[in-house]
Amino acid sequence: MAFLAKAQKVDLLSLAAEVGLDVSPNLGSLELITLIQSSADYEQETFKYILKAVTSARIQKEKEQKEEREREEKGGEIKRENLRLKKEKREKCASKEKEKEREN
């Protein structure tokens, strides 16, 4: 029971789905725990193993999503920096042309 009580609700929902229980996302954590434990197939060690796998998969997915967001943000920063440098270069060229016109 303790391993279920420590689990996050999202992981309890995934565990219930993995073992074939029909659950509503509106259920609270305690209701989910009760439902899981009252399952005809409930075997503590097996469910503990499944919960561990579900939790690991969620954590890995969250990590990958975070890395993807960071890559996208970094890519956006690089694009902005490139645009800034191009603008700077155009402005330098324009000011050099104006200086040449003044000299003539």
pLDDT, one tens digit per residue, over 17-65 is 999 999 999 999 999 999 999 998 899 999 999 999 999 999 999 999 9
pTM over 0.85: no
Our count of domains for the chain comes to 1
- Quote the domain boundaries for residue 40: 1-103
3-state secondary structure of 43: coil
CA angle 70, 71, 74 (to 5 degrees): 85
| 81 DSSP assignment | H
Q: What is the total residue count of the chain?
A: 104
